[in-house]
Amino acid sequence: MQEPYLLTAHELQAKIGKDEISPSKILESLFKRIGDLDKRIKAFVRLNEECILKIPENKKGKLYGIPVLVKDNICVKDEETTCGSKILKGFKPPYDATVIKRLKDEGAIPIGKANMDEFAFGSSCETSCYGPTKNPWDLERIPGGSSGGSAAAIASDETILALGSDTGGSIRQPASLCGVVGLKPTYGRVSRYGLIAFASSLDQIGPITKDVQDAALMMNTIAGYDEMDSTSVDIAVPDYTRSLTKDIKGLRIGVPKEYFIEGIDKEVESSVKKAVFLLKDLGATIVEISLPHTQYAVSTYYIVAPAEASSNLARFDGVQYGFRFENASDLIDMYIKTRSKGFGNEAKRRILLGTYCLSTGYYDAYYLKAQKVRTKIKEDFDNAFKNCDCIITPTSPTAAFKIGEKMDDPLSMYLSDIFTISANLAGIPAISIPCGFTKGNLPIGLQILAKPFDEETLFRAAYTFEQSTGFHRENPKL
């Protein structure tokens, strides 16, 4: 029999249903795998081995017995949750995030916490206080970020399912760089309650999985209205597995002309173009579209996101939880020392940038301006979707880069989010799926974007492509 850790959630579900395997066997198999590999990959910041003693009893649950790795910025009751930051060391939330509650209610088993860029600030998983996670396809390279631990663990079969969060590409970019599937749902589709906020108007939680079917399964459980989140939308959740047809006849796929210009890696470009031809062969209609404000997306994002973050992260001050600098002379001294020693460099950089954009005299030039440009970017998509059902782009302009390569050049790091950021600004759903490999055997990802609340089209297109290619079945040699 195949090692259980190699299987997908839907394959394991079938076996559990037929009593061919038990949840504890799956966990044992995973723990062994993690024990063998994670010293090298460092996808986990915490493994909760005790979960094997608390297998849920709800056998009818939609995800009964399926292990889930949780990004370290999603609250799990009484489990240390630190956002990869020293400032939250020791913080054990007294409550479950809504997504965790829903997963537990359906019998899924949270097995631990995944490494991430500190507070999700980064595209490489290098800013974590626990040190970088490695890309399973090349241990000298970054796995992408910020959900790098989640994506690397999926790619190395150290977990069956994983949760990530995506503010500017933090699910899709690491999924792309690790050769796995990552979905950022429509803003408001999945409750943010219990997700430690980075940028409230951009953040979404979503699945990182081995294949498209698993992503659909996971969405069936985590999506839906939550009265604890004012920004979650009360629209019925369809059964996403029903969209897993291999039929895209008549689907109109837009290809934005602004996304295939200078700066994009040639191998990435050619893989994505090949994917477009394949989709056309499978029955889709390809239309050229224009998203004219694409060139302003990174600027807009790097105003809006740090501004919101600077305010969201103000609460980390050593008063109620987490790290506190002892022996401060007075309160202000405690605030300053706690925050200066608790936050890493990138977190400080973003807090400073965000505070700057909001401060007196600069608000209109930066924050307000960015909000207005955000309107234009959103309008671009509204217009584009008049002519197509979904849009295809590369997920990342390059495959995984070397650890340390961009650490001293924040701006070039920021530019690696260029294709993913717009979806967050516009609030639309987007998925990244594997679409090929570079000559150096590094995965390349394809991004599909759809209208708000039309995750079904994403699943339909992604599943059709995946099933016709099989890139998702490739595994790194470890």
Partner 1 sequence: MVSYIKISLSAGRQGVTRVGIDKKIVKSVAFLSRIELDEKELEIYSRQLASIVSYINKLKEIDTKTVPPTSHPMAALKNVFRKDILKKSLELDDVLKNAPSKEGDSFKVPQIIECK
Partner 2 sequence: MNTTYETVIGLEVHLQLRTETKVFCGCSTKFGSRPNSQTCPVCLGFPGSLPVLNEKAFLYSIKAALALNCAIQSLVKFDRKNYYYPDLPKNFQISQYDMPLSYNGSLEITSGGDRKRVRIKRIHLEEDAGKLTHPAKASYSLVDFNRAGMPLLEIVTEPDISSPQEAYDYLTALKAILQYLRISDCDMEKGSLRCDANASIRKSGEKKLGVKVEVKNMNSFRWVREALQYEADRQVSLLEAKENIIQETRLWDAGKMATISMRSKEEAQDYRYFPEPDLVPFMVEKTIIEEIRKALPELPEARTNRFVKDYSLSEYDAKILTSQIDLADYFEECAKQYENKKTIANWITCDIMAQMNIKNSGIIELGVLSKNLIGLLEMIDSQEISGKTAKDVLIEMIETKKNAYEIVESKGLLQISDRERIDQIIKNVLSKNGKSVNDYKNGKKNAMTFLVGQVMRQTQGKANPSIVNEILKKHLAE
Known active-site residue 71: yes
Q: Which of residues 86-105 bind partner 2 (CB under 8 A)?
A: 88, 91, 93-95, 97
Label residues 257-291 b or e (16+ Cβ within 10 Å = b): ebbeeeebeebbbebbeebbeebeebebeeeebeb
Q: Does 359 bind partner 2 (CB under 8 A)?
A: yes
Cα separation, 44 vs 3, whole angstroms: 20
- Separation CA 337–CA 459 (nearest Å): 48
Q: Are 462 and 455 in contact (CB under 8 A)?
A: no
Q: What angle do CA 99, 160, 200 make, to 5 degrees?
A: 30
> Dihedral angle at the C-alpha atoms of 445, 446, 449, 453, nearest 10 degrees?
-60
Residue 327 in contact with partner 2, rule: CB under 8 A? no
Residue 387: Cβ within 10 Å count: 12
By CB under 8 A, name the one of 39, 332, 386, 439 that touches partner 1. 332
290 counts as binding partner 1 under rule CB under 8 A: no
In this structure, how many other beta carbons lie within 10 angstroms of the beta carbon of residue 247? 11
Q: Which is nearer to partner 2, 31 or 121 (by Cβ)?
A: 121
Task: By CB under 8 A, tell whether 74 contacts partner 2.
Answer: yes
Pick the piece of the chain touching partner 1 (CB under 8 A) from 147-155, 250-258, 294-302, 465-473: 294-302
Could you say which of partner 2, partner 1, none residue 48 binds, taking C-beta under 5 to 8 angstroms by partner kind? none
Nearer to partner 1, 366 or 465 (CB): 366
Closer residue to partner 1, CB minimum distance, 110 or 188? 188
Contact with partner 1 (CB under 8 A) among 17, 277, 333, 440: 333
Q: State which residue, 257 or 372, has the beta carbon closest to partner 1.
A: 372
Instruction: With residue 84 as reference, give the H or E element that holds it.
Output: none
Active site residue 201: no
Binding residues for partner 1 restricted to 249-288, rule: CB under 8 A:
none
Residue 102 interacts, among partner 1, partner 2, none and using kind-specific CB cut-offs from 5 to 8 Å, with: none
Selected binder of partner 1 within 140, 242, 352, 468 (CB under 8 A):
352
Question: Least distance (Å) from partner 1 to the CB of residue 393?
Answer: 19
| Residues in contact with 472: Cβ distance below 8 Å, sequence separation at least 6, in sequence order | 179, 180, 181, 210, 211, 212, 433, 434, 466
Which stretch of DSSP H or E encloses residue 38?
A: helix 23-41
Q: Would you say 126 or 308 has its CB closer to partner 2?
A: 308
